[in-house]
Structure 1
Amino acid sequence: MTETFETIRYTADVVVTTTDGHVLLIERGWDPFAGRWALPGGHVDPGETSRAAAARELAEEAGVYAAPEELDQIGTFDRPDRDPRGRYVTVAYHLTVLPGTTVEAGDDATRAQWWPLSGLPPLAFDHADIIAALADTATGE
């Protein structure tokens, strides 16, 4: 019997919220989901923790700087079909900032902006589920 292994890619995403109910989203400048809004995030580099990758990606894509230890883990998202490019497992983190925190698109993001949690655009990947999981942890569900 031959064992089959699938390639699994490891990523990190960050839900950044303000104390007045907004979330930071970036507009993707590349496929998949070019032109769609998403959470800042990306691949975990060799020798890097997912928490460190989340902080790095947040700085690269949105110009928001946080120490890795400031990020609180929301959970792991590993549904097999969550990314059309193949199997991706992401660890999502949360950071709370003050309203008016400046954001600036960089790296692969074409725009970065604050959106009210009550009026989000259609999101790429399973990022709506990640934001919902944050809300569930906040309410103790």
Structure 2
Amino acid sequence: MSNDTFETIRYTADVVCVRGQHVLLIERGWPPHQGLLALPGGHVDPGEKALDAAARELREETGVRVAATDLTLIGLYGEPGRDPRGRYVSAAYLVEVPEITQALAGDDAAAVRWVPLTDLPEHLAFDHAQILAAARRHLLAAR
């Protein structure tokens, strides 16, 4: 096989951060999907573990600090077309934080908000609605 038959794949990590019955979403500050709500997340840096990238991205985008060891993998998401910039595969994690946890927009986030799990927006960026559905199933099974 020649090199032109291989697709460039980028590796990312997303976080479903739950506080009580609410999930933390960011408003994307720039394209793609500028202005839409999304899960905190981003690229895994060279030499970095996806778990560590998830904790870092959550901190950078929302100010919420969690230990990487507190994150639970809920799935890998890599459907072609999930990101208009090209092929991305994302490791999605779930973490539950105390009710007193505060969030503040930073890095790529124009704003942050705690959204009731029972009243999620109809349209989210990327395939984040699918990731949230898996996280909700995981939470229900654990309770």
Provide TM-score, normalisation by structure 2: 0.93
3-state SS of paired residue (2:103): coil
Shift of 1:88: 0.2
Give the distance between the partners of 1:108 and 1:16, measured in 2 at CA. Answer: 17
Q: What's 1:50 paired with?
A: 50
Shift of 1:136: 2.1
- Tell me the C-alpha RMSD between the 2 structures: 1.2
Q: What's 1:8 paired with?
A: 9
In the TM superposition, 1:64-83 aligns within 5 A as: 64-83=64-83
In the TM superposition, 1:107-118 aligns within 5 A as: 107-118=107-118
Q: What's 2:27 paired with?
A: 27
Structure 2 residue identity aligned to 1:13: D
Structure 2 residue identity aligned to 1:128: A
Give the distance between the partners of 1:130 and 1:113, measured in 2 at CA. Answer: 18
Q: State the Cα deviation string for residues 42-96 of structure 1 (Å, max 9, x = none).
A: 0000010000000000000000001111111111001111101110000000110
**Structure 1 segments (4+ residues) deviating >6 Å:** none
Give the distance between the partners of 1:36 and 1:73, measured in 2 at CA. Answer: 24
3-state SS of paired residue (1:94): strand
> Once the two structures are aligned, what percentage of the paired residues are identical?
58
The alignment covers a number of residue pairs equal to: 139
Shift of 1:139: 3.8
Shift of 1:135: 1.8
Structure 2 residue identity aligned to 1:37: L
Shift of 1:137: 2.5
Q: What's 1:100 paired with?
A: 100
Q: What's 2:139 paired with?
A: 138
Provide TM-score, normalisation by structure 1: 0.94
Give the distance between the partners of 1:32 and 1:100, measured in 2 at CA. Answer: 32
Structure 2 residue identity aligned to 1:77: Y
Q: Which runs of 5+ in 1 are unaligned?
A: none
Q: What's 2:19 paired with?
A: 18
